[in-house]
Amino acid sequence: MKHPIFSLLVLVLCLSGCAVSEKHSAAKPVQVGPSAMGEDFANVPVQKVNDPLQRLNRTVFRFNDGLTTYALRPIAYRYAIIVPRPVRTGISNFFDNIQFPVRFANSVLQGKLTRSAQEVGKFVFNSTFGVGGLIRVSDHVSGLANVPAEDFGQTLGVWGFPPGPYIVIPVLGPSDCRDLAGFAGDFVISPLNWYTLGIIHYEFIGNAVGIALTGTRAVNALPKSVEDYDQMKSAAVDPYIAVRDAYLSYRSAQIKK
Amino acid sequence: MRLDLFRSILTSFLVPLILGVARTSSAAPVDDPAAMLRSSIDEILSIAYSGHGNENLPSRVRPSLEKCFAFDLVTRQAMGPGWRQFSATEQKRITDLFSELLIRTYSARVVGTERPKISYGAPVELASDRREIPTRVITSSSNDPIAVVYRLIRLPAGWRVYDVLIEGVSFVANYRAQFDEIIQKGGASAVIRTLETKLAAPVDSRL
């Protein structure tokens, strides 16, 4: 029972932190578009970013970069050889399907009722015809394909909370205050953590099973994330800024969806 | 008998219609941004997935990319107001280097054996001479389609792409943010040095 309270505490602390820090630097996103550019193409404004921890963030970013290069890439490389792509996709589909309560709850919290219904439909289809979620059959059902995945970070955004300072988390990578709180919220909703949190008591599920599931999920996602990171890095002139801008723009686009 | 008649009527109507459609689509009307984008991307993908592998891909796709992208406008936007302080020689050098980086980046993305499938949405009018065309890209490496939005402007030569947004991340804005500090610290020479170093390094080995 300690854990949910701890998560809530992190959430509350973080949100209050967001509210305070926001007063200091009004990070109003500048729209980069034709309307802002006028006729002169050299007038694109730089997006104002709330990054007071930049020095620390850059250090953690370098650490994560080293971790990716020397530890994660070799693991990802070997895993991708042993486990072929269709199997990796199946495993990833399985975990996505299990995470249904997270997407459903957040769709409801954002008042997106059609989307909540779509999530239920997806879950039913994929759990049954998709063999326990391994095959995403819902992609072939009209109305159930390309449903944007909701999470608690987005819910907080829809509710009007600002992103707060940008934070690079060791191992996990880029985030911001709002998404950190969102992460804590989704942790509670995710069935993968129900045993750890004491929500379910099954004799046959132990902590070991929970850890094994979480580990499998993380390793299975590695080849794709290492590939994405490499692509981004090979294009960037300042990878730290490139990732920061990409993360913040991507999240703000997701919230609008 | 009635079936034959029906068939001949059908052919006499359909054949010119099909030929007519084929003729217009192969000409790729200059005034239609969607047609321009679609034919350019088709051309680029045909080169990239012609089965010749990745050898010299950047130089092979360059002519097609140059027909479709306004590299000078992309560069100018990525540099921001600092651009006006650069000399003409510096502007030319930066445009060349940055275009090369973009072409190399683009080439590194169109890899794999399976040609991605692209579906095009309806163009959105941003201004009388600007359009935004949403697309969805389905690749073999990802389970989910990737949302790619192209922004085009009408130039004397025709419609050209001046920005690309991948999952809401603007190419131009992303580079603008990266170059901002470099320009503030070292001006045009720092930009040129950074780009030269970047291009000298080999493309990262991937999985």
**Span A67-116, pLDDT tens digits:** 999 999 999 999 999 999 999 999 999 999 999 999 999 999 999 999 99
pLDDT band at residue A253 under the 50/70/90 scheme: very high
**Cβ contact, residue pair A41, B81, below 8 Å:** no
Q: Which residues make Cβ contacts (< 8 Å) with residue B194, sequence separation at least 6?
A: A237, B182
Q: Give yes or no for a contact between B92 and B190, defined as CB atoms under 8 angstroms apart.
A: no
Q: How many CB atoms lie within 10 A of CB A96?
A: 19
Please name the helix (run of DSSP H) or strand (run of DSSP E) that holds residue B126, with its range, or none.
strand B124-127
Q: Give yes or no for a contact between B92 and B120, defined as CB atoms under 8 angstroms apart.
A: no
The whole-angstrom distance between B76's CA and the closest CA on chain A is: 5
Tokens for B58, please give them: 């950047």
Question: B182, B58, B152: which is closest to A234 by C-alpha?
Answer: B58
**How does pLDDT run across A4-63, given as a tens digit for each residue?**
444 444 444 344 444 434 433 333 344 444 443 445 677 777 878 999 999 999 999 999
C-alpha–C-alpha distance, residues B158 and B179, integer Å = 29
Tokens for B131, please give them: 């359009």
C-alpha–C-alpha distance, residues A191 and A186, integer Å = 10
Contact status of A214 with chain B (Cβ, < 8 Å): no
Across the interface, of A46, A236, A249, the residue whose CB is closest to B180 is A46
Q: Which residues make Cβ contacts (< 8 Å) with residue B92, sequence separation at least 6?
A: none
**How does pLDDT run across B22-42, given as a tens digit for each residue?**
444 444 455 889 999 999 999
**Cβ contact, residue pair B162, A92, below 8 Å:** no
Contacts of B204 in chain A (CB under 8 A): 230, 233-234
Contacts of A73 in chain B (CB under 8 A): 207
**Cβ contact, residue pair A44, B176, below 8 Å:** yes
pLDDT band at residue B139 under the 50/70/90 scheme: confident
Contact status of B109 with chain A (Cβ, < 8 Å): yes
**How does pLDDT run across A51-61, given as a tens digit for each residue?**
999 999 999 99
pLDDT band at residue B11 under the 50/70/90 scheme: low
* Look-up of token digits 């309307």: A35
**How does pLDDT run across A139-184, given as a tens digit for each residue?**
999 889 889 999 999 999 999 999 999 999 999 999 999 999 999 9
Q: Which residues make Cβ contacts (< 8 Å) with residue B147, sequence separation at least 6?
A: B134, B135, B136, B165, B166, B167, B168
The whole-angstrom distance between B101's CA and the closest CA on chain A is: 7
Residue B49 has a pLDDT of 87
* Look-up of token digits 């191992």: A171
Contact status of B90 with chain A (Cβ, < 8 Å): no
Q: Which residues make Cβ contacts (< 8 Å) with residue A251, sequence separation at least 6?
A: A153, A154, A157, A163, A176, A179
Interface of B with A in 138-167 (CB under 8 A): 140-145, 151, 153, 162, 167
- HSE-CB of A137 using CA atoms within 13 angstroms: 13
Task: Report the residue of B172, B175, B182, B185 to disrupt the A interface, i.e. the one with the largest count of A CBs within 10 Å.
Answer: B175
Contact status of B137 with chain A (Cβ, < 8 Å): no
**How does pLDDT run across B172-185, given as a tens digit for each residue?**
999 999 999 999 99
Q: Give yes or no for a contact between B77 and B153, defined as CB atoms under 8 angstroms apart.
A: no
Across the interface, of B83, B176, B204, the residue whose CB is closest to A234 is B204
Q: Give yes or no for a contact between A44 and B176, defined as CB atoms under 8 angstroms apart.
A: yes
**Cβ contact, residue pair B203, A234, below 8 Å:** yes
Give the burial string for B78-114 (b: 16+ CB within 10 Å, else e). bbbebbeebeeebbebbbebbbbbbbbbbbbbbeeee
Contacts of B113 in chain A (CB under 8 A): none
State the angle between helix axes of A239-256 and B171-200 in degrees (0 to 180), rounded to the nearest 10: 160
Q: Give yes or no for a contact between A182 and A153, defined as CB atoms under 8 angstroms apart.
A: yes
**Cβ contact, residue pair A35, B143, below 8 Å:** no
**Cβ contact, residue pair A230, B101, below 8 Å:** no
Question: B75, B94, B102: which is closest to B162 by C-alpha?
Answer: B75
Tell me the one-letter amino acid at A224: K
C-alpha–C-alpha distance, residues A152 and A183, integer Å = 7
Residue A113 has a pLDDT of 95
Tell me the one-letter amino acid at A70: Y
Interface of A with B in 25-44 (CB under 8 A): 32-35, 37, 41-44
User: Span B98-125, mean pLDDT?
Assistant: 88
Contacts of B170 in chain A (CB under 8 A): 32, 249
ipTM: 0.80
**Cβ contact, residue pair A242, B173, below 8 Å:** no
